Amino acid sequence: MANAKNKALWHGRFTHAPSSELMDFTASIDIDRRLAPEDIEGSRAHVRMLGKTKILDGKEVAAILAALDTAQAEIEAETFVWFESDEDIHTAIERRVTEIAGAAGAKIHTGRSRNDQVATDLHLWFRRAARAAIIATHELQKTLLDQAQKAGDEIYLPGYTHLQRAQPVLLAHHLLAHYWALARDVDRWRDALDRADVSPLGAGALAGSSLPLDPKFTADALGFSRVFENSLDAVSDRDFVAEGLFVAALEQVHLSRIGEEIVLWSSAEFGFLDLAETHSTGSSMLPHKKNPDIAELVRGKSGRLIGNLTGFLATLKALPLAYNRDLQEDKEPIFDALDTLISSLGALSGLISASTFNAESMRAGADSPENSATDLAEYLVRAQVPFRDAHAQVGALVNESIEKGITLREVVANTKGFGPDAVALLDKGVAVTNRHSPGGAGPEPVAQQMVLAQQHRAHLTKWLSD
């Protein structure tokens, strides 16, 4: 970093230079440097607007645009020289443009404030980042669909409530449950993108300008569908950041639930899943260990994302209109949230596609006759027994099998009112095939669900390619 003493953008009113405490504490360049592409994109649109409204002449516009190109090339080539006095990315780029384009460069900030500039930059960044989150989600959804397809009708496992065995479900059904949760996340990203699709540029510091700005022109140039309605709101609105933090936090919570199941399923106690060596870690002390660290970190990182959301809501709370420097605290949490989410999605997708499901262990757990107790009650329901009575009768049979230490199958075979067709309900592999109802866990509804999920995925693929 160059040590050159450049003046702050706001030096004019001051007779004393800023203290190092002030600069060190308030500078945001280390964090907002990554907004360089967006800052340059926003500046290009702004300068073109200044030309179109005749606030600047054609030569000035051309000189500034050329200087922006140079600054961008330098940043991309990592030859851009950053100054200690570069308080933030806006200062750094304006400084460089002025060095290159002289008096014309010094006109770049005409009719603009860093307040509407930073809000614009962050909207542009959010648009890309939310899309990247959707793409990474779409990838994980594909992995889940592929594994569901591979599992087909063959692999089933005990479904749980309260983490106690309840009824058998196809593995495909279980995996698709996570697919639909991610589908809602994608919907939320798309909603958030729609609401964030508004350009704040032209709001100035807080109240617009006495110059004949054309905010619609810049909004169109930047590809935003709408222009702000109120300049005070435009520079102080960070709802899109808060919303992005929520959508990311909830999605990471979804990932943490998948992570938790991978941790459980890969334990010796469950033995439902074999971790691939390529996606597990060893222990520095225990030679035999193969650990599910990706799944654990995905689970653990949900805490960070929840913290980013609650922390930023606390920052926003009770802020008076319009811009306050507190708002600079928006970037770290939203950058961290999206970076963490996107890397978690990729890691989890790799982990799941490299994992092998252990059909034998799953079946062994699912085939225990008690898991068919509800089907037995429904057998009685078909014979017009009220469900509450049927429930009590079957409960008593389960109790009898526990007390006598014999299988439920034996008890049922020796109980009046239950024919061989009832006993057959307890046969291995039967219960899962009886989950017929729409959206249920058996082969027919799961096959239908698979078609829906594939159509759903195709829609998203199309949206992403449009």
- 198-199 and 226-227 strand pairing: parallel
CA distances from residue 94 to 71, 90, 357, 432 in whole angstroms, order as listed: 9, 6, 56, 66
- Are residues 214 and 138 in contact, defined by beta-carbon separation less than 8 angstroms? no
Rank residues 88 and 243 by Cβ distance to ligand ARG and give the closer one.
88
User: What's the CA gap between 353 and 143, in Å, rounded?
Assistant: 6
Q: Which is nearer to ligand ARG, 114 or 123 (CB)?
A: 114
In the set 225, 267, 283, 437, the catalytic residue is 283
Q: ∠ at Cα 296 (306, 178), nearest 5°? A: 75
Q: Which amino acid is at 407?
A: T
> Which candidate in 16, 19, 20, 162 is catalytic?
162
Task: Say if residues 317 and 108 touch (Cβ distance below 8 Å).
Answer: no
Output the smallest distance, CB 40 to ligand ARG, in A.
16
Q: Are 313 and 246 in contact (CB under 8 A)?
A: no
CB of 337 to ligand ARG, least distance (A): 17
CA distance 291 to 275: 8
| Alpha helices for 266-386 (secondary structure H) | 293-316, 331-354, 359-366, 373-382
List residues near ligand ARG by CB under 6 A.
28, 32, 88, 114-115, 118, 323, 325, 327-328
Strands 156-161 and 164-170: antiparallel
Pick 88 or 261: Cβ nearer ligand ARG? 88
Q: Residue 90 catalytic? A: no
Residue 447 C-beta: closest distance to ligand ARG, Å:
52
Closer Cβ to ligand ARG, 88 or 251, answer by number:
88
Distance of closest approach, residue 327 Cβ to ligand ARG, in angstroms? 5
Task: Check if 349 is active-site.
Answer: no
Residues facing residue 160 across a β-bridge: 165
User: Based on CB atoms, which residue is closest to ligand ARG, 326 or 360?
Assistant: 326
Q: Smallest distance, Å, CB 107 to ligand ARG?
A: 19
Tell me the catalytic residues. 162, 283
